[in-house]
């Protein structure tokens, strides 16, 4: 997240920023994480909103479509003046 707030390795958040982390996922490798990111970016807005409501739905969808497992985490984060303050982190 710090890379995104600092504008490192990102395009969209460098230009537009973000205020809230809606979902947090972990993968077994960088390659899997990049596939997951691409997978999410290709989704419709409606599907993305459903995933925000139920993050476990993405775990099942990604496993069925890509054959890879991911883990859902929960994180409470505050963004103040582009500084990330991590309040709580856990993995479900």
Domains in the chain: how many in total?
A: 1
pTM: 0.61
CA pair distance 44, 42, nearest whole angstrom: 7
State whether residue 24 is helix, strand or coil.
strand
Flag whether 15 is in a domain: no
Flag whether 87 is in a domain: yes
CA pair distance 40, 54, nearest whole angstrom: 14
Task: Report residue 2: phi and psi, to 5°.
Answer: -65, -35
- Range of the structural domain that residue 87 is part of: 22-91
Flag whether 17 is in a domain: no
Flag whether 67 is in a domain: yes
Model confidence over 31-50: pLDDT tens digits? 888 888 888 889 999 988 88
Flag whether 66 is in a domain: yes
Flag whether 68 is in a domain: yes
Flag whether 38 is in a domain: yes
> Is the pLDDT score of 57 beyond 80?
yes
Flag whether 3 is in a domain: no
């Amino acid at each position: 997240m710090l890379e995104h707030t600092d504008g490192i390795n990102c395009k969209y958040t460098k230009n537009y920023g973000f205020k809230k982390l809606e979902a947090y996922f972990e993968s077994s490798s960088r390659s899997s994480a990049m596939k997951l990111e691409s997978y999410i970016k290709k989704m419709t807005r409606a599907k993305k909103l459903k995933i925000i409501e139920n993050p476990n739905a993405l775990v099942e969808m990604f496993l069925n479509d890509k054959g890879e497992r991911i883990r859902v985490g929960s994180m409470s984060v505050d963004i103040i003046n582009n500084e990330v303050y991590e309040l709580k982190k856990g993995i479900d």
